[in-house]
Amino acid sequence: MSVSQQPQSVSWCVHGLQMAGLSWGEPGSEPVLALHGWLDNAASFSLLAPLLGGCQVVALDLTGHGRSAWRSDDAGYQIWDDLPEIVAIADALGWTSFNLLGHSRGAVIGTLLASAVPQRVRRLVLLDAVLPEPLAEGEFSRQLGRFLSDKRRFLQRRHRVFATVDAAVATRAQRGLGAPAAQLLVQRNLRECAGGFTWTTDPRLQGASAVKLTAGQAQTVLECVAAPTLLLHAREGHVSKHPEITAIAQRCIRQLSVEQVAGGHHFHMEDAVSAVARSVTAFLQEPAERGAL
């Protein structure tokens, strides 16, 4: 049974940042906090969330994306920088514990959160990502240098202006995303400006991270994930091209199930969305005593 197709717009002021999102389902039903991928937004879950019956799905526009605020010039976009805002929004929703559903960068952030506050996360669903590729310790200073160079460059960058919404959609579709999915994402990532439309996303999101996890730190993160976890990966997606990701996750996450679904990296917005919904729903409804493998 699906919930209403039409989401409710939601917003919060967290740590001085105005945050936005979309909500599907009835308050008081099974809580699912949804985290989108890099340069996407809450509309990433517009096709999947209505299919998750019995759930209240709250999808966030993470900082610098969609209709949420940009961080101040002195701040940055490390994957762990989002964690305090996510926890504060869960608190505002009255969710002492909740399920996490993340795609791509949002899946990585979800893994970090489940590791850091395991008492808050009931179940973890990862769509085509687990953690970023670890960085060798000897690369630390070089990585920091890339971050400094990119920050200077992207603070000065201005987004391209499109004459029409369709022109912006076309550029996103050219990067392998189907037109209907691109339309959903682009409409929430655009604002009107002189000459047409431009992106709402912060250009700094395209810059290098200051610090990346080492292999040892990544292993520790995965070993500290206590929640039953479902990794869904697309046949033509990122995880399928890097089988070592699945191998490490299976070795380190104690309660992990892995399933492959047809489609590309945005398979939760493609024809496979029904299959994704069935797997996620079955996983969330699984009795707790059956969560362990």
* CA pair distance 35, 114, nearest whole angstrom: 13
Q: Minimal CA–CA distance to 130: which of 146, 109, 144, 115?
A: 109
Q: What is the DSSP letter of 244?
A: H
**Phi-psi category of residue 176: left, alpha or beta, with phi > 0 → left and psi -120 to 50 → alpha:** left
**pLDDT reported for residue 131:** 96
**pLDDT reported for residue 286:** 87
Q: For 160-186, how does the pLDDT look when each residue is reduced to its tens digit (9 = 90+)?
A: 999 999 999 999 888 778 888 999 999
**pLDDT reported for residue 174:** 80
From the candidates 68, 104, 115, 257, which is the catalytic residue? Answer: 104
Specify whether 104 is catalytic: yes
Which ranges of the chain have pLDDT less than 70?
1-4, 288-293
Q: Minimal CA–CA distance to 58: which of 18, 111, 120, 100?
A: 100
**pLDDT reported for residue 287:** 81
**pLDDT reported for residue 202:** 96
CATH number of 8-134+213-290: 3.40.50.1820
* CA pair distance 9, 69, nearest whole angstrom: 15
Residue extents of the structural domains in the chain? 8-134+213-290
Q: What is the DSSP letter of 207?
A: S
pTM to 2 decimals? 0.94
**pLDDT reported for residue 175:** 79
Look at strands 229-234 and 121-127 and give their pairing.
parallel
* CA pair distance 104, 117, nearest whole angstrom: 20
